[in-house]
Structure 1
């Protein structure tokens, strides 16, 4: 059996052979209030502190989103870039050692963008991710179905795209576990997702987190035939709450806090995630193309159905 060091070296070599391709990780949650945005911010900061070049896409349009948490004001966003109103770098914000691109409006309008606008979007994200080690996506809440999302103009989530790892943030409450499992089930059945990384947030200790994870993994394995992998937990910590109030990542504000150490450990595990086949064959551009194709398919079906109704 190879040692963990040997496995890490092998994965590092694989990524090197993939021409230092950007690792894309989409952070999702089954409901609001679980801490998805907080996890994204603190993982981004932890990765940056380890010397990685990190870019965060903020898909969340709700109040108290990632930009609000960090006290950022966006003069331009990704939709402005897609519509040719500004240069991609004008939509890039720098804070706490990593970059942030506001993407909420672009994801909301994605299904309605022209082909030229979609191309500018692909080109912009490809350019902005050039040289980036890790792209984290604070994902919009996926709609119950793609067709419903289009009909209701709900924001499309990058969790629907192929080629990016999915990190599911779960809390230890009954509703948190139920909603997280429902999200995993939906993405497994509708998008053929087979692997999900799990972070248990707001938990008393590691043992409590493992209990939550093991129960979810057992049910998912039996009913969905998918693989859930435990990435770690973030324990309840007053200093994490204090850092959030200050608009700072806990790993920066209180680096010795138990939550900060947990985030640093998880960031190291993220960098050791195995390269999936679809990740090996694609890049940021291909991930966006995959998302655009998936959005376009139900839109085309909806247009054909409406034409039949009219006729």
Structure 2
């Protein structure tokens, strides 16, 4: 049960933080966990609660978020970088409060941008016509996401895991990899998807949390469990297709939990500052790879 006093204090704090935006990268250790379905359903419930949501799709190909929703995305973040289109022209609005940015091609070239390109991209997000309350990022598979090395105060990581043993071990390996880059500063939220009973999800989380604390000195946060009730439609949010389903209720609770995550201490999370840090992280990774190649040549 939530604490009303805490909720009021948190709400007041956010009012005092200008341009506050919740930024969440949703990822998984392997395919088949329902990561993209999770993004779709969280976005649906957040918009129903009056939030303006920007979904950044880092994936390319037939299985990306746009294709899953049956949307023809003819433009991408790369077109913004090349100055062929404005950011507002590339973003797809779908329903009240939901905005989708196809970004897979653009994300792949972040480490190759010139200083002028980086300044242009940051300015585009600073001038975005529609202010956003929440940014959900459907991350590229496993360790290939450009978001994983990001060191940004307002950035949250949600890892989707299913009951299959390979999903659990892959998710733990991903947590270990990310933690090694962030030296214990990253917060991890765990959502157990496709569960039979809630007790099963709790056992999975407890085992992961115990191992993470013992071997990585990392504390995990249990975001909840989504039952496998055969109501999750790939092309539609369960809130629209089956609003009284058990999975709909679970996603509703997960969305409320996300909204109530406490602000992290430090600078106020603004979208353009997030993009600036993302670019800096990718530039840093390029330098690290170049140094490693140089050292290897000797």
Fold similarity call, TM over 0.5: yes
Q: Relative to 1, partners in 2 of residues 1:106 and 1:4: Cα closer, same or farther, differing over 3 Å? A: same
**Is residue 273 of structure 1 aligned with residue 267 of structure 2?**
no
Contact 2:19 2:269 in 1 (8 A): no
TM-score scaled by length of structure 2: 0.92
User: Equivalent residue for 1:9?
Assistant: 8
- Counterpart secondary structure, 2:31: coil
Q: How far off is 1:19 after superposition?
A: 1.7
- Cα deviations across residues 87-115 of structure 1 (Å, max 9, x unaligned)? 11110101143000001111111111222
**Is residue 185 of structure 1 aligned with residue 173 of structure 2?**
no
Contact 1:108 1:156 in 2 (8 A): no
- Cα deviations across residues 179-205 of structure 1 (Å, max 9, x unaligned)? 000011111111234421110001112
- Counterpart secondary structure, 1:268: helix
Q: How far off is 1:51 after superposition?
A: 1.1
User: Equivalent residue for 1:76?
Assistant: 75
Structure 2 unpaired stretches of 5+: none
Q: How far off is 1:305 after superposition?
A: 5.8
User: Equivalent residue for 1:147?
Assistant: none
User: Equivalent residue for 2:149?
Assistant: 160
- Counterpart secondary structure, 1:31: coil
Instruction: Find the aligned partners of 1:177 and 1:275 in 2 and give their Cα distance.
Output: 28
**Is residue 37 of structure 1 aligned with residue 51 of structure 2?**
no
User: Equivalent residue for 2:164?
Assistant: 173
Contact 1:78 1:121 in 2 (8 A): no
- Counterpart secondary structure, 2:108: helix
Structure 1 unpaired stretches of 5+: 144-154
User: Equivalent residue for 1:152?
Assistant: none
Instruction: Find the aligned partners of 2:123 and 2:195 in 1 and give their Cα distance.
Output: 41
Contact 2:28 2:142 in 1 (8 A): no
Q: Relative to 1, partners in 2 of residues 1:285 and 1:293: Cα closer, same or farther, differing over 3 Å? A: same
- Counterpart secondary structure, 1:160: coil
For the aligned residue pairs, the C-alpha RMSD in angstroms reads 2.1
Q: How far off is 1:306 after superposition?
A: 5.6
- Cα deviations across residues 5-61 of structure 1 (Å, max 9, x unaligned)? 111111111111112411111101111111110000000001001111111000011
User: Equivalent residue for 1:107?
Assistant: 107
Identify the match of residue 238 of structure 1 among 227, 230, 242.
230
Q: Relative to 1, partners in 2 of residues 1:78 and 1:3: Cα closer, same or farther, differing over 3 Å? A: closer
Instruction: Find the aligned partners of 2:126 and 2:57 in 1 and give their Cα distance.
Output: 16
Q: Higher relative contact order by CA 8 Å / sep ≥ 6: 1 or 2?
A: 2
Contact 2:55 2:101 in 1 (8 A): yes
User: Equivalent residue for 1:298?
Assistant: 285
Q: How far off is 1:298 after superposition?
A: 3.3
Q: Relative to 1, partners in 2 of residues 1:78 and 1:222: Cα closer, same or farther, differing over 3 Å? A: same
User: Equivalent residue for 1:251?
Assistant: 239
Identify the match of residue 289 of structure 1 among 273, 276, 295.
276
Hey, which bits of structure 1, 4+ residues long, moved more than 4 A?
A: 304-311
TM-score scaled by length of structure 1: 0.88
User: Equivalent residue for 1:117?
Assistant: 117
- Counterpart secondary structure, 1:21: coil
Between the two proteins, the alignment pairs up a number of residues equal to 294
User: Equivalent residue for 1:260?
Assistant: 248
Instruction: Find the aligned partners of 1:30 and 1:219 in 2 and give their Cα distance.
Output: 16
User: Equivalent residue for 1:55?
Assistant: 54
